Structures are given as C-alpha cells and as structure tokens.
Amino acid sequence: MKKVLEITTVGITARAFLIPLFQELQDQGFAVTYASTPDFDALETSKAAGVPFFPVSISRSISPRDIISFWKLYRFIKSEKFDIVHTHTAKAGFVGRMAARMAGVPVILHTAHGLTVHPGLSKFKKKLYLFLERFAARRTKKFICVTKLVEDSLVEQGITEREKCVVIPNFAGPSYDPENIDSKRRGALQNRLNLPPDSFLLMCASRLVDDKGLEESVSALHDLPGNVFLALAGDGPNKEKLQKLAALLQVEKRVRFLGWVDTFDMPALLSLCDVFISGTKREGFGVGIIEAQAMGLPVITSRIRPITDLLDPESALFIDTSTKESTREGILQCALALYKDEQKRRALSEKALENAKKYSIENYRANIRSFIQRELS
C-alpha cells in the first residue's frame, strides 16, 4: 500500500476543500496521513476523514521558524518512508516540497489553490516569491490547479510547464443544499442578524481586506432602500475602517459584522440572505460564489477571470470592478434591480442552481479519481 502525506499550512484549507480528496485516496487503496499546524480545523479534518494527523507548526509568513518546520517534516517523511507528498497553499507548498525532496520522496505533488504571485505584491515580494516558486517547481512532478487561470499564471510566469499541470476545480459541499438546512444553525444565525421582518439581506463573505469590493458594498448601501441590510462574513485588518465608513454614511445600523463564520454554518447563513455580492478585484477560484449559487442565491460579481470561466454568463450579474467608482455603481444598480424585481431574482436563482451542479462533490471526486488512476497508480 502506497503512503501519502498531505500537507497544509493551516487546517481550514483541508477542512473546506480536502476531506473528499483524503477519502478518495483511501478508497483507491492509499494510506493517507495529514500534516498541518495543529489548530481546531486541522484536528476536525483528521477526525472527519479518518486519517492520522502529524502536527507541525507552519507560519503563513516567511519566518526563521520555517527551518524548524522544514526539519520536523523532513525527519517525519524520512522515517515514515512516504511514497507521495502532496502540498497545498504557498507556504506549506514550499517547505513541504523541500522537505520531501531532501527525504528522497519519489512523487511530489502540489495543488495551487490561487495565485501566489499576483499584482498586489510589492516588487521585492514578487521577485522573491517567483524565485521560490520556480525553485520548488523543479522538484514537483505535477501541479493540480483549481482553475484554468491558475494554470495559465503558473505557465506565463515561468514557474512550470503546461504539461505538468492538470485543472481540477473545487466544489460546493453536500451541505450546500437549500432543501436541507440545519435548523439549529439557521436559528442561531437568525438571532445574530436580528433583522426586522421586512428586511432584504445582501451578503459578502471574504477576509476584510482591500480589493474585495467591501468598501463599495457598504457605500452602495447608503443609496439603497432603508430595509436593505448588509451582512459581512469574515474578519481582517479592514474591519475598523469599514465600521467607520458605515458610521460616516449613517448605515451602521444596517450592516452586520459577523466575524469569521464557521464552514459548517455558512449554508445556514446563505439560506437567510437574498443576494450574494463578490466585488473582488482578483480571485484564485471563488468558491464562495459557487457555494452561494448552490444555495440558489442570485449573485452579483466581478467580470474577471477565473469567475467568468466558472460561471455561466446568464447565471449571475457581472460588474466592472476596474475602479472603485465602477464597482460601487455596479453593486448599487444590480442590487437595486434585484430588490425591485422578484421575477428576476427567481430566474437568476434557477440559473445559479444549474451552474453550481458542475461543481458538485461527485464531479470533484470523479476528477480526483481519474487523476489518481492516471498519475499515481
């Protein structure tokens, strides 16, 4: 039986995306072990997938402690004699692949869940990350890319060759089913939202950072009817900035800052919303959009890749996010149109549900199964 070590930086990556991968590998006869920073999500992943867990703290940023993480992984990989090491996300991807290479692992894989080198980086970080990514790529047998955009980026930046890439999209899990909502979770979230009976709820779900269209969403709320509310699911450095903006525009009573929402609470939260907004300027996949569609929500989102690659043109309302002004105006006009037109909301909901079927967990597992049988057997 071949032994596989799966490595992530933090547990939320595995909890959100990788449990079906672990299960498929086991079904195909592989012995799977999972390594990550020992946080709550990592331990829950190990339990849910029924795989052994190896704790190794990996910081998200470059740190002197990376040497400790590398050495701990190297010794573990060497002692357990893994046949395959599969890394995920940038930091675990580099440290894990280097440890696997030094330990003499015959097959090293990496899943690129997004764009490691992107326009938002400083010149120094771009050069550094490109050097590290290219160095690690030469020691990687195959890249799994969650979108065609990620594959194109790896090739165009000279990180790897197209022949070493395979595109396997992410998925919306089985809990994203509008006909089967956890009533206890829904009730608890309804209490947190504390909305009046006639409210119309918009929702954004992302880290509270620049380039996600959050300021524009809060700003657009000012020109929407008084019974329209906005829920922001996520946390990050811009929380205070967004709170101040809401107060300045006198819409603070209509904005709900929910903080980080647990993965297993998200379907219930989406079921309480009327429209999902993602005015992001850049995206690696956009799983939140697919999850919203799987719940039958009308979606307002950016006309950028990879979102336009993943969504049927008629399954969402697309906006120009090239400037703050165009983003705000797009969100405002689309939200207003959906607020006024129930028939339009229903039509978009039907198209959204249809589009989301392409990203079912069954399709994901079938793609993974095909990859395993082709590359690992």
Residues 365 and 339 in one domain: no
Residues 15 and 151 in one domain: yes
pLDDT of residue 116: 80
Q: Which domain holds residue 250?
A: 183-359
96 occurs within a structural domain: yes
Residues 349 and 330 in one domain: yes
3-state secondary structure the chain: CCEEEEECCCHHHHHHHCHHHHHHHHHCCCEEEEEECCCHHHHHHHHHHCCCEEECCCCCCCCCCHHHHHHHHHHHHHHHCCCEEEEECHHHHHHHHHHHHHCCCCEEEEEECCCCCCCCCCHHHHHHHHHHHHHHHCCCCEEEECCHHHHHHHHHCCCCCHHHEEECCCCCCCCCCCCCCCHHHHHHHHHHHCCCCCCEEEEEECCCCCCCCHHHHHHHHCCCCCCEEEEEEECCCCHHHHHHHHHHCCCHHHEEEEECCCHHHHHHHHHCCCEEEECCCCCCCCHHHHHHHHCCCCEEEECCCCHHHHCCCCCCEEECCCCHHHHHHHHHHHHHHHHHCHHHHHHHHHHHHHHHHHHCHHHHHHHHHHHHHHHHC
Q: Residue 215: CB partners within 8 Å, gap ≥ 6?
A: 238, 241, 242, 245, 324
pLDDT of residue 177: 94
176 occurs within a structural domain: no
34 occurs within a structural domain: yes
Domain count, the chain: 2
CATH of the domain at 98: 3.40.50.2000
Residues 194 and 119 in one domain: no
Residues 284 and 141 in one domain: no
Residues 219 and 307 in one domain: yes
pLDDT of residue 86: 98
Tell me the two tokens of residue 38. Answer: 């020992």
pLDDT of residue 152: 95
289 occurs within a structural domain: yes
pLDDT of residue 60: 81
Sign of CA dihedral 69, 70, 76, 79: negative
177 occurs within a structural domain: no
Residues 218 and 296 in one domain: yes
Residues 192 and 149 in one domain: no
276 occurs within a structural domain: yes
125 occurs within a structural domain: yes
Strand partners, 299: 276
Across the beta sheet with 84-88, the strand order is 53-55, 31-36, 3-7, 84-88, 107-112, 142-145, 165-167
Residues 226 and 300 in one domain: yes
Which residue, chain included where needed, has tokens 């819409």?
Answer: 251
With contact defined as beta carbons under 8 Å apart, do 335 and 202 qualify?
Answer: yes
Residues 49 and 147 in one domain: yes
Tell me the two tokens of residue 184. Answer: 């206890």
Each residue's pLDDT tens digit in the chain (377 positions)?
999 999 999 999 999 899 999 999 999 999 999 999 999 999 999 999 999 999 999 998 888 889 999 999 999 999 999 999 999 999 999 999 999 999 999 999 999 998 887 777 788 888 988 999 999 999 999 999 999 999 999 999 999 999 999 999 999 988 899 999 999 999 999 999 999 999 999 999 999 999 999 999 999 999 999 999 999 999 999 999 999 999 999 999 999 999 999 888 999 999 999 999 999 998 888 899 999 999 999 999 999 999 999 999 999 999 999 999 999 999 999 999 999 999 999 999 999 999 999 999 999 999 999 999 999 98
263 occurs within a structural domain: yes
Residues 136 and 277 in one domain: no
Residues 35 and 55 in one domain: yes
Closest by alpha carbon to 259, among 181, 218, 205, 220?
205
